[in-house]
Amino acid sequence: MEAFVYDYSMSFEALEKKIDYACLIARLETKQILEVNDAELFKGKVQVRIQDKGLRKTSIKTVYGEAEYSRHV
């Protein structure tokens, strides 16, 4: 991380690309966490026999961009 911060020879465009890549990874991790949590919640609701209407795509705005994920309805 220190080399990343103090690399003065890096252009601003290259820095933006690295930051954009880090944000992409953060959005993918957020998607995975939300979908796993939703699956766990749905698994508990199946025992109560709540009707499943399938998955719906939705998104959440974060400081690193909009993270899209699927959740049970």
What is the number of structural domains in the chain? 1
**Of 40, 41, 72, nearest in space to 56 by CA:** 72
Q: Which structure tokens are listed for 33?
A: 């966490």
Q: How high is the pLDDT of residue 52?
A: 75
pTM for the model stands at 0.73
Q: Which structure tokens are listed for 10?
A: 């890096």
Residues in Cβ contact with 57 at an 8 Å cutoff, skipping those fewer than 6 apart: 68, 69, 70
Amino acid occupying residue 19 = I
d(Cα 19, Cα 42) in Å, to the nearest integer? 34
pLDDT tens digits along 13-72: 888 899 999 999 999 999 999 999 999 988 876 666 777 788 999 999 999 999 999 998
